[in-house]
Amino acid sequence: MSHVHLSRVNRGWVLRSHDHLSAHDVDAALHTVRSSGGGSVRWFVFEPTDAEIASAERHGLRADAPLLHMRCSLPLVADHRVAEGFVTRPFRPGVDNAAWLEVNARAFADHPEQGDWNEEVLVEQLAEPWFDAHGFLLHEREGSIAGFCWTQVHDHTVAHDHGRSDAHDHTHTAPVGEIYVIGVDPAFHGRGIGRSLTIAGFAHLAHRGLRQGMLYVAGDNTPAIALYESLGMTVVRRDHVFVGTIS
């Protein structure tokens, strides 16, 4: 199973590969999940074969919304403007952890991996070599976090991050800046925070000299896709997603 990438993401699992998988590959990977206590599984496949679709069905995995990889040229044409009464500032490790985790949980209440982040997961991510507090932007109003845009720079590689917690599937290319995670507290929806944060994140990456921007978005997130397209982003890859629980 050397070409199969199975990774733990919080309480769930993510399965992906560079190549198409045989029924044996899938069986072996999900056996590992089962023998390790089970949990939710998300399997990302580019143009799945009939055999892969049959394997997913056999293990009770259903088709979910596809994952879109979107890209844009930097800098964006749009300028960053913060809504009146809001300020933008960098994340402060160790100071903003608890408040950010609360907002993240609310923003991703329906997301199987991102919404489950806890202090341990956050601290692990803050310790990654690529972490840059200046690229972890918060929109704040009267001391409360309204939303956030966490960016990441891939130095001469593009990460095919299908699990959202560990991006280790890479293709060599020019440096690229990614919006790693972006979220808005539901209490602040409808105020243009998402647009403002997206522009702020890509502006930060452009300031660092990046000329290509990217992000991943669920294929059924129509408002977000429309927002990103309005800023000049286009879809460059679409992965099918199979989800389910292995016990």
Domain ranges of the chain: 4-64, 69-239
- In this structure, which amino acid lies at residue 162? H
Span 223-247, average pLDDT: 96
End-to-end C-alpha distance for the chain, whole angstroms: 21
Burial class (CB in 10 A: 0-12, 13-18, 19+), 99: middle
Q: 181 with 159: CB under 8 angstroms?
A: no
- Retrieve residue 103's tokens: 């907002």
Q: Which CATH number fits domain 69-239: 3.40.630.30, 3.40.50.300, 1.10.580.10, 3.40.50.2000?
A: 3.40.630.30
Chain segment 17-55, per-residue pLDDT in tens = 888 999 999 999 999 999 999 999 999 999 999 999 999
Chain segment 145-163, per-residue pLDDT in tens = 999 999 999 985 444 444 4
Q: 67 with 238: CB under 8 angstroms?
A: yes
Chain segment 170-189, per-residue pLDDT in tens = 455 689 999 999 999 999 99
With vertex at residue 208, the alpha carbon angle to CA 205 and CA 209, rounded to the nearest 5 degrees, is 95
Specify the range with the lowest mean pLDDT, choosing from 5-14, 128-137, 162-171, 224-233.
Answer: 162-171
